[in-house]
């Protein structure tokens, strides 16, 4: 029976993926900041809960030690924890910028580093790093979020070279739109009192969000895609998950960067 470690398992894609792998007979180490609040995953036989805050190095070290002690061997690490800061970049605070990168990028790197000695000793292992279609294309008023996901893309692609020489694989998960609480508890809106210069463009963007081309894929659907990426035995690096993600990125490839960016501007920042 194989074992997967999942960060950000308290909701959304992380929770759905923990449940899916457990149903497939895997042992699951589901990590989250406050496991004492979890009332669903702790009822599943194959799932064990661990406290892990990806922005806290001590928390990562403690969780890693506990997981390896309890399971002995870990086969897959799914770096899933993340959230988005939305709104005008000028309205963001230094704290918001730092926390966005601390969670989405530095936390992912720290968890990866924590499990690397184990994978290296076994000459095997797989890191699944959750990026987004937002790591391949961008939309207005999500500059911080996009910058973290593009960082995950570059980090993961480069890392795949060096770890491949050691028998360790890296794959990038790129979900499309998600029908979860991502726009609720997993999104922070940057607001600065008195800063009104962006109001018109922001209003247009909010009114045109349905024109992004992204659909509301269920977390269960995305969990199945992640499972397939973990078990297909392929050397494939990137996995666009969802027909919307494939269509949006396919359009960028077809018409080129400049035309794609111009099209996003026309759709998302035009007057309805």
Q: Where are the domains of the chain?
A: 3-82+96-182+217-250
**Is there a catalytic annotation at residue 83?**
no
C-alpha 72/C-alpha 197 separation (Å) is 56
Helices 143-164 and 107-122 pack at an angle, to 10 degrees, of 10
Catalytic member of 59, 131, 147, 156: 131
> Two tokens at 272?
């309805």
**Is there a catalytic annotation at residue 20?**
no
* pLDDT reported for residue 209: 83
C-alpha 42/C-alpha 49 separation (Å) is 7
Q: Running along the chain, 272 residues long, what does each successive block of 10 average in pLDDT?
A: 97 97 98 96 96 98 98 98 96 97 98 98 98 97 97 98 98 90 62 92 90 89 98 98 96 97 94 70
* pLDDT reported for residue 272: 61
* pLDDT reported for residue 180: 59
Alpha carbon separation from 82 to 30, 95, 112, 125, 261 (Å, rounded): 15, 16, 15, 22, 25
Count of positions (residues) in the chain = 272
CATH 3.40.50.720 fits 3-82+96-182+217-250, yes or no: yes
* pLDDT reported for residue 186: 57
Catalytic member of 145, 227, 239, 249: 145
Catalytic member of 15, 27, 149, 171: 149
**Is there a catalytic annotation at residue 131?**
yes
Tracing tokens 């199945």 back to the chain, one arrives at 224
């Amino acid at each position: 029976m194989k074992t997967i470690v999942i960060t950000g398992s308290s909701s959304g894609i992380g929770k759905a993926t923990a449940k899916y792998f457990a149903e497939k007979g895997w042992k699951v180490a589901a990590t989250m900041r406050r496991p004492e609040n979890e009332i669903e995953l702790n009822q599943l036989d194959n799932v064990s809960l661990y406290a892990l805050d990806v922005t806290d190095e001590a928390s990562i070290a403690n969780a890693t030690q506990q997981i390896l002690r309890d399971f002995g061997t870990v086969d897959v690490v799914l770096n899933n924890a993340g959230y988005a800061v939305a709104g005008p970049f000028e309205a963001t605070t230094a704290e918001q910028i730092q926390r966005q990168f601390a969670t989405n990028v530095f936390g992912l790197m720290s968890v990866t580093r924590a499990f690397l000695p184990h994978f290296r000793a076994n000459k095997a292992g797989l890191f699944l790093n959750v990026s987004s279609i937002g790591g391949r294309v961008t939309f207005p008023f999500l500059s911080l979020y996009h910058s973290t996901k593009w960082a995950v893309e570059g980090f993961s692609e480069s890392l795949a070279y060096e770890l491949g020489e050691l028998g360790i694989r890296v794959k990038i998960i790129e979900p499309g739109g998600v029908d979860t609480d991502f726009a609720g508890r997993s999104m922070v809106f940057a607001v600065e009192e008195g800063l009104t210069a962006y109001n018109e463009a922001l209003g247009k963007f909010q009114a045109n969000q349905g024109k992004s081309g992204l659909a509301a894929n269920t977390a269960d659907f995305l969990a199945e895609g992640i499972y397939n990426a973990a078990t297909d035995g392929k050397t494939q690096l990137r996995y666009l998950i969802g027909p919307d993600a494939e269509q949006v990125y396919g359009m960028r490839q077809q018409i080129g960067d400049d035309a794609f960016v111009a099209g996003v501007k026309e759709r998302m920042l035009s007057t309805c």
